Homo-oligomer: A and B are copies of this chain.
Amino acid sequence: MNYDDVLQHIHAELRPVIGQGRVASYIPELAKVPPHRFGMAVVGIDGSVSTVGDARTPFSIQSISKLFTLVMALRLEGDAVWERVGREPSGTPFNSLVQLEAESGKPRNPFINPGALVCTDILCSRYATPENAVVEFLRPLCRNPGVHWDRAVAASERRTSHRNAAMAHLIKSFGNLRNDVDHVLDAYCRHCAIEMDCVELARAVTFLAHGGSDPASGAQILDASLTKRLNALMLTCGTYDSAGDFAFRVGLPAKSGVGGGIVAVMPGECGVCVWSPGLEPSGNSLAGSLALERFTDLTGRSIF
């Protein structure tokens, strides 16, 4: 299916808001990204690719990596993952320690920082260099053997990760982190620093629109039932503390990152990725959220 016209329509319509919002500034490397960038890509399970704008410009995937960390943890440990991480929306800002403490070190879900730290801990128990394992998982999935993590971003993030360190130590104090805190934080920050473009990310999630099998290679990444469940989890927990509002407006399973990227899944059809660095207060891309909202409005598609 061809979405070129829809994407161009969206791009034109959104011009006035592209550049609005706050670019993430907690690390200098992210703050340097020009706010007026906008790209969007749709990759169908039939292999079709539609793009608009900066769809081929790599950006820092940041929390979108949590989706892939979870997929890898589920492939390694299956349902045992859920003994260490919950499946409920957090209901509080994405980096809060309150809930983590009240719930004895079991993070609410794998898409908030503490949950991703536990999933990263699972990878750290299996791989000597878990950041490479994630990159190697992504390369065939997005068909770019050059996918890598950015050293400057990772190092900068690591230096300023006191809040993540606080969460990791708190989880560790409850016995829900097996590896050394520093080792887990190193891997976590490198996952966040992976760079990909919209086409690559849209392609990397097509298996989620295709019953768990990569439509390009036929490889079964997850089984069909777990794939549906993962999509449900993205819908209820994938977009920080505004998952309810995002589901209301957009109506697609999605995962966002503070780099301005959002991936979304249209089951049975395609993977979508949009990128624009200006963020809403909730941490989701402002123009990106609107673009996805218009996308489901214009195509008349949503899962509801």
Does A232 interact with chain B (Cβ within 8 Å)?
A: yes
Query: Is the Cβ of B253 less than 8 Å from the Cβ of A244?
Result: no
**A229 in the interface (beta carbon within 8 A):** yes
Check A243 against B304 for contact (C-beta < 8 Å). Answer: no
Copies in the complex: 4
Partner of A236, one of B89, B101, B227, B228: B89
Interface residues on A, range: 35 or more
Can you list 20 A-B contacts with CB-CB less than 8 angstroms, sorted by A residue number? A87-B244, A87-B245, A87-B248, A91-B91, A97-B97, A97-B101, A97-B170, A98-B101, A162-B169, A162-B181, A163-B173, A165-B169, A166-B166, A166-B167, A227-B304, A232-B235, A235-B235, A235-B304, A236-B248, A267-B304
Q: Which residues of B contact A88 (CB under 8 A)?
A: 89, 91, 241-245
- Shortest Cβ gap from A22 to chain B (Å): 19
Q: A295 to nearest B CB, angstroms?
A: 13
Question: Interface readout for A233-268 with B: 1 if CB under 8 Å, 0 if not?
Answer: 101110001111101110101000000000000010
> Is A217 part of the binding interface, using a Cβ–Cβ cutoff of 8 Å?
no
| In contact, A248 and B233 (Cβ under 8 angstroms) | yes
Note all chain B residues with C-beta closer than 8 A to A66: none
CB < 8 Å neighbour of A170 from B87, B166, B241, B302: B166
Residues from chain B with Cβ under 8 Å of A90 in the complex = 91
A17 to chain B, nearest CB (A): 19
Q: Are A304 and B166 in contact (CB under 8 A)?
A: no
A267: nearest chain-B partner, CB-CB: B304
Report, nearest first, the 5 A-B pairs whose CB atoms are least far apart: A91-B91, A162-B173, A166-B169, A231-B304, A89-B89
Cβ of B247 and Cβ of A232 under 8 Å apart?
yes
Roughly how many angstroms separate A253 CA and B98 CA in the complex, as a whole number? 29
Partner of A248, one of B229, B247, B248: B229
For chain A residues 103-143, which have a beta carbon within 8 Å of chain B? 108-109
Q: What residues of B have a CB within 8 angstroms of the CB of A233 in the complex?
A: 244, 247-248
Chain B residue contacts of A77, Cβ below 8 A: none
A244 adjacent to B167 (CB under 8 Å): no
**Alpha-carbon distance between A237 and B165 when the two chains are bound, in angstroms:** 28
User: For residue A108, which residues in chain B have a CB less than 8 angstroms away from its CB?
Assistant: 91
